[in-house]
Amino acid sequence: MAVYTDVSDAELSAFVDRYDIGRLQSAKGIAEGVENSNFLLQTDRAFFILTLYEKRVNEADLPFFIGLMEHLSARGITCPQPVHDREGNTLQRLAGRPAAMVTFLSGMSVNRPGVGHCAELGKALAQFHAAGADFELRRANALSLDGWRPLIEQSRERADSVSPGLASRIADDFARLEQAWPHDLPSGVIHADLFPNNVFFLGDRLSGLIDFYFACNDALAYDLAICLNAWCFETDGSFNITKGRAMIGAYEAVRPLTPAEVEALPVLARGAGLRFLLTRLVDWLNVPPGALVKPLDPLEYDRKLGFHRHAATAADYGRA
């Protein structure tokens, strides 16, 4: 949540002139995401977001991310649309960094999603999966089962300093997931980070999806499992089955789950919970001294895993 790279207004004006989008009239560094530098640009025609990709983004992945936004936009998914410069390029360099300009999307994120928001999200997720089906680039999910092991190793010794018994709960979760993880579910492009802060609403209607920088190829139902974790729990850690039912129902109205996906849902949901517990835990244990950004609480996901550990079937998540 910061602007990491300073770019002068003169540099930004010259950069905008590479595009046929009008003259730059205003530029503001914005606090969007924690990974990259973002500027909100106003020209005499419209607003745009310019992203400068900082170190944590692998430059080799950018054609996937930018290509995906373009692919999805062309198929009617409301997401930031990469803008082509006068020579047709979407991926640029500015201030020594890879950069891309995308259209500005109106909308507000909800911090306490209601049942209606969960239904809107379920529908949009299924539409996203359908629209991504013919996207030709591929990117492996670095944060699936195999990616959790190094995170477990990095956090094992100090995990119990965050919560007594946490290291052994993580070890048990991982052992169970390693054994039960499904490997042949319908797969495709997933968003993999579709938390409420990455989804815009105008009034009660979903108006757009943003932040595709964890997108990858993986089981489609795993994306739904991530959303169940991110949207359907109450702040006290309890799972709201009405929200789960709304989300899964709206998803299946567009793309019905296969029997194998239905059966795998509790394992996928537990895996998604462990994935966010682990990345948050590693961040929590490695806050640099004097950091301005407070890391997200890993124990929120320890509590959610308390539910997943006892869920037996998809019905426990509200699947009819």
Nearer to its own copies, 27 or 62 (CB): 27
Q: Which residue has the tokens 């018994």?
A: 165
- Shortest distance in whole angstroms from residue 285 CB to its own copies: 18
Q: Binding marks (x or -) toward its own copies, 5..34, rule CB under 8 A?
A: ---xxx-xx---------xxxxxxxxxx--
**79-96: burial string, b at 16+ Cβ within 10 Å, e else:** bbbbbebeeeebbbebee
By CB under 8 A, residue 96 contacts its own copies: no
Per-residue binding string, its own copies, 289-318, x by CB under 8 A, is: xxxx--------------------------
- Can you tell me the distance from the alpha carbon of 43 to that of 132, in angstroms, rounded to the nearest whole number? 31
Q: In angstroms, give the least distance from the CB of 31 to its own copies.
A: 4
Whether 139 and 64 have beta carbons less than 8 Å apart is answered as yes
Q: Is 112 in the site for its own copies (CB under 8 A)?
A: yes
| Min separation Cβ 211 and its own copies, Å | 14
Identify the residue among 33, 67, 98, 107 touching its own copies (CB under 8 A): 107
Which residue, 306, 214, 206, 299, is CA-closest to 254? 206
Give 183's contacts (C-beta < 8 A, 6+ positions apart): none
C-beta of 63 vs 104, nearer to its own copies: 104
Strand partners, 103: 48
Please state, in angstroms and rounded to a whole number, the distance separating the CA atoms of residues 42 and 25. Answer: 5
Binding site for its own copies (CB under 8 A): 1-3, 8-10, 12-13, 23-32, 40, 42, 104-112, 200, 202-203, 288-292
